[in-house]
Amino acid sequence: MTTPTIAIVGLEASGKTVLMTALARKLAQTSSRGYFLDPIGNRTIKYIEKNWAILQSGDWPASTPPGEMFKLKWNFHVQNGKSACETASLQMIDAAGQDMRQLFSDESVLEQLPEHFRPLVQYMQNASILLVVLNIKDYIGEGDTTRKIENQAALKYALDVLQKSNRRAALIFTQMDQYSEFIDSRGGLENFCREELPYIYNAYVSSQKNPLIGVAAVNRTEVREMSDGTFQRVPAPGFDSDGLEQIGDWLAARVLELCQQEKAKEKAEKFRLEQERKQREREQNQTQENVSPPWGSIITFLAIVGIIIAVIVANLGGSGESSDGGGFSSFVPPPPKPPVVSAVSATNTCNTGIFDCWSHHAEISCMVFNPDKSANIKITAYMMTSTGYLQKREQSVYIEQNHFYSAQFYFNNLNFCPKKQKWYGEVTAERLD
C-alpha cells in the first residue's frame, strides 16, 4: 500500500521551523485520540532538540540560509480502532523561505528548473497532504503593498502548481497569540482570508474543502533589549503552544481517509486480477475442448439435446398451458447486482464528530463499487443524527463494471445545528438504469 506523505511549505518568516519544532515535541507522546510522531534517524531528533533548546533559552532558531536544505523525517502513527494502526510518512525540508519565494514568484523558474531546486519541488509534488504556513503579520502589518501582493501571488501560484485532485491541504496561520483579538474583530479567519487574501480564498477556501487553522507555536512572548541596543519580541519563560491539537486531529483524519482509499484500490486491483485469471482459465479450457476428439463433442451435443427434449416433454405434459398461454414458462433474467458502498468516512472541521467549532463544515467520503454491467449510479450522502438527517447531497456518475469510484460530499452553512450535536454519515447507492 502506498504510504501517505505530509509536506510543510511556506515563505520566509512564516514560522515553519518553529511550528515543526513545537509540533514534533507536542506529538512525541501519544495524544488522547491515539496518534503520535516517531522521528526517523538521529538527524531529525538532534535538529528538533537543538531548536527546542534555543526556544527554551528565550531566543528564536536561526533562519535557514538560501540554498541550504535540511531534510527531516517522521512516521505519523494513527490508531484505527482498538488494534489496527495506520502510518503516514511526514517529511519536512527546512528550506529557506526565500528559495520558495523565488520558486513560485517567477513562472520561468519552474519551466527551467535549476538543479538545486529539484529536491524541493519533488518533495512538495510527491506529498499527498500539504500544510501551507502563513504568518498573519505579513498580511496585516506589511507596510509595503507591493510586497503584500507578492506574498499572496506566490502562495496562490504554489497552491495552483501543487494542488492535485486527491491532495488535501490546510492553511495554517501562525502568531495567533498576537493577533487573535484582531482576527476576532474581523469576524474570524475565514472573513479575514476573504478580505485580505481574496485570490486564495476564492480558489481554495470558499469551497470549505481546505480548512483554516490558527496556531501559536509559542503562545507567550516578551519584548527584550538585545545586545546591539535594539528591542525584539522573544519566547517568554514557560511558554506553551495553542492550536497544535487541531492540526494533529486534522492530519490523523486525512491519513485514515487516504489509507482507506488505498486499501479499497488494492482490493479492486486484486479483484480485477482475479477476474483476468479466471478469464484466462476459461479461454484455456475452451482451447482444450476445441482440440478434443470429435466423439466427445458429439456426446456432449447429444446430451444437451436430450435435456432440451426432456424439458419440452415436461412442459407439454404438465398443466397444458402456462400463464401466458404458450405452454412454457417465461424466462425472467436475474436483476442486476446493486452497487456496494464501503470506506465511509465522515469528519467535520474539528474532526470530533460533534459540532463544537466555529466553522460548522463537514465532509463525507466513500468508495462505491459496481459489480454488474456499466451504468449510471446515484450516490446519496446523509448527515445523520439521532433524530434524522440534517442535510443530504447527491451525485450521479457513470461507473464501469467491476470498477470503484471515490466520492466526496461537502456540507456547509450548518450554523443552524446545535452545538455539541453528535452526527455521523450514511451513504446509499442505486442504479439508474
What single string gives the DSSP state of each residue in 2-64?
Answer: PPPEEEEEE-TTSSHHHHHHHHHHHTTSPPTTSEEEEE-HHHHHHHHHHHHHHHHTT--PPPP
5-261 and 336-431: identical CATH topology = no
Domain boundaries, the chain: 5-261, 336-431
**SS3 state of residue 137:** helix
**SS3 state of residue 402:** coil
Q: What value, to the nearest 5°, has the Cα angle with vertex 37 and ends 74 and 155?
A: 65
**SS3 state of residue 341:** strand
Question: What gap in Å lies between CA 60 and CA 58, rounded to an integer?
Answer: 7
Q: Among residues 208, 248, 258, which one has the least CA distance to residue 362?
A: 208
Please give the biggest Cα pair distance in the chain.
114
Note whether 354 and 347 are within 8 A (CB): no
Q: What was the pLDDT predicted at 10? A: 84
Mean per-residue pLDDT pooled into runs of 10, the chain (433 residues):
76 87 89 86 91 94 77 85 74 74 73 74 81 87 74 85 74 92 91 91 85 93 88 92 92 84 85 89 78 62 78 64 48 80 75 49 85 91 79 89 86 64 84 85
Architecture of domain 5-261: 3-Layer(aba) Sandwich (3.40)
Q: What is the pTM of this model?
A: 0.62
Residue 240 carries which side chain, given as an amino acid letter?
D
What residue ranges in 317-374 does DSSP mark as E strands? 340-348, 362-370
Alpha-carbon torsion (100, 104, 105, 110), positive or negative: positive
Q: What was the pLDDT predicted at 52? A: 95
Q: What was the pLDDT predicted at 323? A: 45
Question: What gap in Å lies between CA 157 and CA 42, rounded to an integer?
Answer: 35
Question: What gap in Å lies between CA 136 and CA 193, rounded to an integer?
Answer: 10
Q: What was the pLDDT predicted at 56? A: 94
Cell representation of residue 78: 494513527
Kindly state which CATH superfamily the domain 336-431 is placed in.
Answer: Immunoglobulins (2.60.40.10)
Q: What was the pLDDT predicted at 1? A: 53
Cell representation of residue 407: 466520492
Q: What was the pLDDT predicted at 256? A: 82
Residue 123 carries which side chain, given as an amino acid letter?
Y
Q: What was the pLDDT predicted at 66? A: 75
Q: What was the pLDDT predicted at 321? A: 47
